[in-house]
Amino acid sequence: MNEYFQRVRSNYDVLADTYTAHLYNELAHKPLDRDWLARFAASVGTPGPICDLGCGPGHVARFLHEQGAHVLGMDLSPCMIELARQLDPDIEFRVGNMARLDVPTESWGGITAFYSIIHLPATELPVAFGEFWRVLRPSGEVLLAFHVGEEVRHIDMLWDRPVSLDFLFYPRAQIEDHLRAAGFAVVESIERDPYEDVEVATRRAYIRARKLERTT
């Protein structure tokens, strides 16, 4: 694991308990997120599974599980994974890096990544999306949510914890282009304004894409 990903991991180990306290129930206040996740679970169907990459304490995985999906969660932070296992022992959670997936080819039916590509530098996006394509079964689907923009926000303090984290914002078109280059067809793509008094005041994007067969 390179130095950048080690730093992300160590910061989220530090944040794991307070992140969970602040965000584990956030979907209750985000109807559009719930709608997209529910429709995604129905679209992927069985046998799945859907892997939630960058799962944190497992709240998105839990919601997908409640929709009847076969789901598992993966996160870079061992402390996040330990909390996720405690909170939802019926769901499989494992430590892993979304850009370096230690997973056999064509293992999953779907991938969700809600606000986790925000820690991928631009040079890692093609690598990660190539990995997504590899581990998905034919016609498997990806659902992404991320902050829209063209900036990097460096954070030194979060919920009264000292950290050193970069949050990367991307134009929606750039992410769509990377997905297409990796072998996906964009099925749905929208943006929304932030939910007032619920989340950080940034514009958000959602993209659903389907794996295509490569011809070369």
Residue 20 in domain: yes
63-89 average pLDDT score = 97
Averaged over 47-62, what is the pLDDT?
96
Q: Provide the domain limits for residue 159.
A: 3-211
- CA-to-CA distance for 79 and 9, rounded, in angstroms? 9
Give the count of beta carbons closer than 10 Å to the beta carbon of residue 122: 11
Percent of the chain residues past pLDDT 70, beyond the cut: 99
Q: Residue 117 falls within a domain, yes or no?
A: yes
Q: With 90 as the cut, is the pLDDT of residue 42 above it?
A: yes
Judge whether 216 lies within some domain: no
Position 28 scores a pLDDT of 95
- The pLDDT tens digits for 19-29 are 999 999 999 99
pLDDT digits over 96-115, tens only? 999 999 999 999 999 999 99
For all residues of the chain together, what is the average pLDDT? 96
Return the C-alpha torsion angle 124, 117, 206, 153, nearest 10.
-110
Q: Is 197 helix (H, G, I), strand (E, B) or coil?
A: coil
Could you write out the DSSP letters of every residue in 129-165?
Answer: HHHHHHHEEEEEEEEEEEEBSS-EEEEEEETTEEEEE
Under the banding of pLDDT at 50, 70 and 90, the label for residue 216 is: low
Cα gap 68→49, rounded to integer Å: 11
Exposed/middle/buried for residue 197 (C-beta within 10 Å: 0-12, 13-18, 19+): exposed
Rounded Cα–Cα distance for residues 30 and 176 (Å)? 23
In a domain, 202, yes or no: yes
Count of the separate structural domains present in the chain: 1
Q: How many CA atoms lie within 13 A of 88 on its CB side?
A: 24
Residue 215 has pLDDT above 80, yes or no: no
The CATH number assigned to the domain holding 168 equals: 3.40.50.150
Structural contact between residues 87 and 24, judged by C-beta atoms closer than 8 angstroms: yes
pLDDT of residue 173: 98
Q: Give the pLDDT band (50/70/90) at residue 116.
A: very high
| Average of per-residue pLDDT across 25-50 | 95
